[in-house]
Amino acid sequence: MSKIEDLEKEVAELKQLLTSIPGVKVARPVTVDLKYLCPKDPNFKAITEAEGVVMPAEGPTHLNGWITDIKNTLKKHRTFNQEGKEIEFTSTHTSATWKCQTCGAEKNVDPYP
């Protein structure tokens, strides 16, 4: 076997040994929703660099917030129909402002940037 296979086998055995001991919990990575991550969070840089997958101890410290303002904006679009005639239609674009409960920082939440 190669060295990688040996290491994978050893890691699997260690995981099994740890989980078999009563009272021992193995920490698993958590996924952080970057949409609602406070820009002033002390762990902001580390979380964004890891693309939102971090260990619980390295997770966000600013955990609460709320939506303060929802905006519906009408946008006009132009396209062509099946006959090649230009048509205009209106769609509604929704965006919101999220406010951090811990520090008061605001962030624009837009599902379609």
Segment 5-36, tens digit of pLDDT: 888 888 888 888 877 777 767 778 899 989 88
pLDDT band at 37 (very low <50, low <70, confident <90, very high): very high
Token reading at 17: 């040994």
Confidence (pTM): 0.62
Segment 46-101, tens digit of pLDDT: 999 999 999 988 999 998 999 999 999 999 999 999 999 999 999 999 999 999 99
Q: Distance between CA 16 and CA 28 in Å, rounded? A: 14
pLDDT band at 1 (very low <50, low <70, confident <90, very high): low
> Where exactly are the structural domains of the chain?
27-109
Token reading at 49: 């660099």
